[in-house]
């Protein structure tokens, strides 16, 4: 048992080193978009997710790249990178599929049911990743999935609290639908929709 845990931890370390280029690219894209939108705040208005408005449809795909402030992007970057790395352990194609499903499912749900306003930020996708990893520990089992699920719960359990209305200007709907999208994505992928 101890040997299996050590092997799993060594795999995580090796894969993290292997994925460092992809993780760097994620950070680079996210922060580059932030710098551009800091110069022209109107871009957020054009590309943010606006519920039940035709002009808000591109936001289903683009809102996770948009952030309103330095604090907003800074506090999304760390969990995004850690949880992305955990999913990348299954390979880049798997990660891209998980990201696409969570983004589209949660974004569409926010577009249908979100409160009026502009919804932006990666926190819905982050909450989706968290839900995906936690439910994978239960659904798929396996030592590696259990380790990733336990680490996700231990270090990022506060993400779960984001699904409840709290501060004005925070899209709790994106968090809630992100979580549900992560659970649904895990269910879909565990039932042979991806091989």
CATH numbers and ranges of domains, the chain:
2-190 (1.20.1540.10)
pLDDT at 193 (0 to 100): 52
Q: What string of pLDDT tens digits covers the 195 residues of the chain?
A: 788 888 888 888 999 999 999 999 999 999 999 999 999 988 888 899 999 999 999 999 999 999 999 999 999 999 999 999 999 999 999 999 999 999 999 999 999 999 999 999 999 999 999 999 999 888 877 877 788 888 887 778 788 777 777 777 778 999 999 999 999 999 999 876 544
pLDDT at 192 (0 to 100): 60
Task: Collect contacts of 85-93 with beta carbons under 8 A, ≥24 apart.
Answer: 85/15, 85/16, 85/19, 85/23, 86/129, 86/133, 86/148, 86/151, 86/152, 87/129, 87/132, 87/133, 88/15, 88/19, 88/22, 88/23, 89/11, 89/12, 89/15, 89/19, 89/144, 89/148, 92/22
Give start and end residues of each alpha helix (H) in the chain: 2-18, 20-39, 42-47, 59-62, 70-88, 92-113, 123-139, 143-156, 158-161, 172-190
pLDDT at 8 (0 to 100): 80
Angle, CA of 127, 129 and 131, to the nearest 5°: 70
pLDDT at 195 (0 to 100): 47
The answer to whether 185 and 130 are in contact (CB under 8 A) is: no
pLDDT at 129 (0 to 100): 97
Helix pair 123-139, 172-190: axis angle to 10 deg: 40
pLDDT at 45 (0 to 100): 82
pLDDT at 191 (0 to 100): 77
The separation between the first and the last C-alpha atoms of the chain, rounded to the nearest angstrom, is: 28
91/87 Cα distance (integer angstroms): 8
Model-level pTM? 0.90
């Amino acid at each position: 048992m101890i040997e299996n845990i050590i092997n799993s931890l060594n795999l995580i370390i090796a894969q993290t080193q292997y994925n460092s280029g992809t993780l760097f690219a994620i950070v680079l894209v996210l922060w580059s978009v932030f710098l551009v939108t800091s110069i022209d705040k109107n871009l957020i208005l054009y590309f943010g997710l606006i519920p039940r408005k035709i002009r808000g449809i591109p936001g289903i795909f683009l809102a996770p790249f948009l952030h309103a402030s330095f604090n907003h992007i800074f506090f999304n970057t760390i969990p995004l990178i850690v949880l992305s790395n955990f999913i990348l352990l299954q390979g880049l194609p798997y990660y891209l599929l998980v990201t696409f499903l969570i983004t589209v499912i949660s974004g569409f749900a926010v577009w249908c049911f979100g409160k009026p306003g502009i919804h932006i930020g990666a926190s819905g996708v982050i909450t989706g990743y968290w839900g995906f990893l936690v439910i994978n520990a239960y659904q798929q089992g396996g030592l590696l999935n259990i380790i990733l699920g336990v680490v996700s719960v231990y270090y990022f359990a506060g993400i779960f609290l984001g699904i409840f209305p709290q501060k004005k200007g925070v899209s709790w709907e994106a968090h809630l639908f992100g979580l549900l999208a992560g659970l649904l994505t895990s269910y879909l992928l565990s039932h042979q929709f991806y091989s």
